[in-house]
Structure 1
Amino acid sequence: MKILLTGATGFLGGKLFAALLADGHSVRALVRPTSDLSSLPPPAAHGGALDLAYGDVTDCRSVLDAASGCHVILHAAALVEPWLPDPSKFISVNVEGLKNVLQAARETKSVEKIVYTSSFFALGPTDGRVADESQVHHEKFFCSEYEKSKLAADHVARQAASEGLPIVMVYPGVIYGPGKLTAGNVLAQLLIERFSGRLPGYMGYGSDKFSFSHVEDVVQGHIAAMHRGQPGERYLLTGENASFMHVFDMAAIITGTKRPSFHIPLWMVSMYGWVSVFFSRITGKLPLVSPPTVQVMRHQWAYSCNKAKVELDYEPRNLREGLEEMLPWLNSLGLINY
């Protein structure tokens, strides 16, 4: 199959790109002229099995040109940040970008399926229960502009499905693992802060809960959705549900280091977030922790992936297995020491 992949230069997209090539598919990656392509293999390395189409998901014409002759579109491109000085970018990339991809699919006769990478944030907080694909976001409040944009995009995707477009929607949790250290790999970033001493305590008191998805499992879930996912269906590609306190404790056990000895109240983390945002506006460097980060941590995001297990043979590893892989990798790069 000829596959168009968006987001190939990102954390998840780069892994997906490599897996598709390893499976023998012909892949065309839509990349921006300004993108860092260092993580991508040169086109000549795969004998014509890959090529680069320069453009942007926000530019409908370039998406349409890139889709020409493709049988599947894997739309993994997204703006994944807890905070941006210009929140309108979330809509232009995450919502309008999806609309452009869907329009390209409608106009490209060769396209047989679209796999759209959403997020469990599009389904909303679960607060006290473990939810599945039937959950609908309450829309009473949003912790971040990213969450709001992913819900808006989810509405667009589900409307397209109701109109007969062959789209499969997948919803990863907090993706982690070896790979690019982008905002999409926030767990790696927090572990670096933890082991460097810049994050000396737990954030909060462990009442948060997230569904952690190892990047390689999510990649295989995407490929399974491409082959076996039913158009119009939604699949949670989540994993073990745990708090960040549990993650830090597990990391301490694996590395033989001490656990944090105190808790940092979320109100204090929020104050730090506001200060970080202030300096971000001056320096232009996006903060790791911002007020929306704290708002997210005030809630639980616990999800079941049973549907994907049954229909896609999705087999997520547990958190300990994933951390036992990621921590030595961070250590080998000199990003943490233990």
Structure 2
Amino acid sequence: MRILVTGATGYIGGRLVPRLLEQGHTVRCLVRTPSKLRDVPWAKHIEIVQGDVTDPESVQNAAQGIDVLYYLVHSLGTKGFDDLDRRAAETVADAAAHQNVQRIVYLGGLTPEGVSARDLSPHLRSRTEVGQIFLDSSVPTVVLNAAVIIGSGSASFEMLRYLTERLPAMVTPRWVRNRIQPIAVRDVLRYLVESAEIDSTVNRAFDIGGPDVLTYRDMMQRYARVAGLPRRFIVPVGVLSPTLSAQWVNVVTPVPRAIAIPLVQSLIHEVVCHEHDIAEYVPDLPEGLTPYDHAVELALRRIRDDAVETTWSWASTPGAPSDPLPSDPEWSGGSAYVDVRERVTKAHPQTLWRVIEGIGGENGWYSFPLAWSVRGWMDRVIGGAGLRRGRRDRDQIYVGEALDWWRVEEIEPGHLLRLRAEMRVPGRAWLELTVAPDPVGARYRQRAVFLPRGLAGHAYWIAIVPFHGIVFGGMVRNITRAAERAETGEPMVTATGLPLQSPIR
């Protein structure tokens, strides 16, 4: 079967594609930035088409010859996301009809029973509207509506995990008593894969959920038990609005405010499946659906084993700059600030590269950890990514994925790592780390580039210049020293003094 996947650079899409390939399907992916899929293990087995779901021409081209179209796109956290999602859904539905696509599969949100559309959260209202657009089109559609998805790397699971692990006692909003029917990501993916084979006469929405109906408070307590933590002390109160709750989530968890707000708003009503009709078309496995506790256990095992496939942070943080680093000639005239530092080390270039490739996350940034932490907290307070997104994998990084408050923009193995900043700054910023052979061993070059936006941008750079010697200078010294220690057989250590997790191979 010929399948088009939109949203392949997202959390669910990035997991769905390899499973479709395992089933023998031919897969094409429509993405705005093809380079984001360059390094994923399954990239060479798919066709990548550049385009945008709001652009009729690119969607028409991508849908040519397609049997099944998966729509896994949303504009969560983007200003005016409801209008954007509506326009995108209408564009895709029209293109699918024009190209005689046989089926559309859409993953939406589970809606509370008896609640009118106007009383839904903006996020759930938009997801429901998008599903209806597809159901009203001339293309048979399967809409799968899910509540909280439990899996390593999902935004909902990360919110639950960090709240539970970091707060042994908490005052919570009253919605923690609302019932929720969570579902394991493995079950969501199975339903998505099997939906491609559902008869073309079926055109309807299905509720999908796991076997457990729990309150959010129950979910936190059971998470604590599975994770081996003491029972949490949770006191619900009625004075915390969804917006205030989201602000707290923004501070305590890696999930930024722009994403936390719609997630929290979607929890103010009970979201429980009204039916399980999907079993008529995708029968339950003999062992049944994944229980909540087992789903948590599987997610924690993947995190512990460093085997997380995709994370919510694959998609760019809302409001973050997305333009690639411009070419040097365009900077002429003093429109950019650059900080360049070099150091020659006796370490072998490959050893130095391994240090660079392992930077960030638990390994830190090899320079004044307190300063980085304070800057990260400041970024979180104003709604930025902060430093807590960490790394998806301690050994590998891909172009397009998040690395703390950076986005990996380019990798030339053994030579170049370029990061684009997604912190909140009045301008755009990049950090380049490069390795080159040298008669002594290797030459490490570090270049920070900042393109200011307005007077505030120039003032920002001038204000932080006094700290560059400490922060950037420290990085140069500590990165090269870490490589030299590895050359002499000493354990490489991070900026925090801990052994480097990424081994030299």
Q: Same fold (TM over 0.5)?
A: yes
Letter in 1 for 2:177: S
Sequence identity (%): 21
User: Shift of residue 38 of structure 1?
Assistant: 6.3
Distance 1:39 1:248 in 2: 35
If each structure's strand is expressed as a fraction of its own residues, which one has the higher value?
Answer: 2
User: Shift of residue 35 of structure 1?
Assistant: 7.0
**Match of 2:72?**
76
Distance 2:83 2:102 in 1: 26
**Match of 2:117?**
139
User: Shift of residue 98 of structure 1?
Assistant: 1.4
**Match of 1:221?**
191
1:177 aligns with 2:151: yes
Name which of structure 1's ranges 312-321 and 95-104 shifts more when overlaid on structure 2.
Answer: 312-321
2:129 to 128, 131, 152: 152
Q: Is the 8 A contact 1:6 1:30 kept in 2?
A: yes
**Match of 2:170?**
201
Name which of structure 1's ranges 320-329 and 260-269 shifts more when overlaid on structure 2.
Answer: 260-269
Question: CA RMSD, aligned part only?
Answer: 2.9
Q: Is the 8 A contact 2:170 2:235 kept in 1?
A: yes
2:203 to 211, 224, 232: 232
Q: Is the 8 A contact 1:15 1:216 kept in 2?
A: no
User: Shift of residue 14 of structure 1?
Assistant: 1.1
Distance 1:39 1:174 in 2: 29
Name which of structure 1's ranges 201-210 and 222-231 shifts more when overlaid on structure 2.
Answer: 201-210
Letter in 2 for 1:9: T
Distance 1:269 1:70 in 2: 45
What 5-or-longer segments of structure 1 have no aligned partner?
Answer: 128-136, 280-284
**Match of 2:59?**
63
Please give the per-residue CA displacement for 1:13-32, whole angstroms capped at 9, x wherever unaligned.
11111100111111001111
1:106 to 92, 97, 100: 97
Distance 2:178 2:305 in 1: 30
Q: Is the 8 A contact 1:176 1:187 kept in 2?
A: yes
SS in 1 for 2:49: strand
SS in 1 for 2:116: coil
Letter in 1 for 2:72: A
Letter in 2 for 1:91: D
Distance 2:25 2:18 in 1: 10
Distance 2:220 2:118 in 1: 31
**Match of 2:419?**
none
User: Shift of residue 294 of structure 1?
Assistant: 4.6
Q: 1:107 to 1:287 in 2, by over 3 A?
A: closer
Q: Is the 8 A contact 2:160 2:220 kept in 1?
A: no
Q: Which has the higher contact order (CA 8 A, sep 6+)?
A: 1
User: Shift of residue 327 of structure 1?
Assistant: 2.1
Distance 2:15 2:135 in 1: 26
User: Shift of residue 231 of structure 1?
Assistant: 2.6
Q: Is the 8 A contact 2:208 2:273 kept in 1?
A: no
SS in 2 for 1:58: coil
Distance 2:217 2:39 in 1: 32
**Match of 2:425?**
none
- Normalised by the size of structure 2, how large is the TM-score? 0.54
User: Shift of residue 70 of structure 1?
Assistant: 1.4
Q: 1:249 to 1:38 in 2, by over 3 A?
A: farther
Q: 1:248 to 1:113 in 2, by over 3 A?
A: same
1:9 aligns with 2:1: no
1:318 aligns with 2:291: yes
Q: Is the 8 A contact 1:176 1:188 kept in 2?
A: no
Q: Is the 8 A contact 2:206 2:276 kept in 1?
A: no
**Match of 1:242?**
214
User: Shift of residue 256 of structure 1?
Assistant: 2.1
Distance 1:58 1:35 in 2: 20
Q: 1:302 to 1:216 in 2, by over 3 A?
A: same
Distance 1:202 1:91 in 2: 35
User: Shift of residue 295 of structure 1?
Assistant: 4.1
User: Shift of residue 307 of structure 1?
Assistant: 0.7
Q: Which has the larger radius of gyration?
A: 2
Letter in 2 for 1:114: I
Distance 1:118 1:274 in 2: 21
Q: 1:260 to 1:152 in 2, by over 3 A?
A: same
Q: Is the 8 A contact 1:4 1:74 kept in 2?
A: yes
If each structure's helix is expressed as a fraction of its own residues, which one has the higher value?
Answer: 1
Q: 1:61 to 1:302 in 2, by over 3 A?
A: same
Q: 1:209 to 1:35 in 2, by over 3 A?
A: farther
Distance 1:55 1:21 in 2: 22
2:269 to 299, 306, 310: 299
User: Shift of residue 265 of structure 1?
Assistant: 2.6
Q: 1:138 to 1:275 in 2, by over 3 A?
A: closer
Q: 1:53 to 1:192 in 2, by over 3 A?
A: same
Q: 1:218 to 1:305 in 2, by over 3 A?
A: farther
Q: Is the 8 A contact 1:266 1:294 kept in 2?
A: no
User: Shift of residue 75 of structure 1?
Assistant: 1.3
Q: Is the 8 A contact 1:95 1:150 kept in 2?
A: no
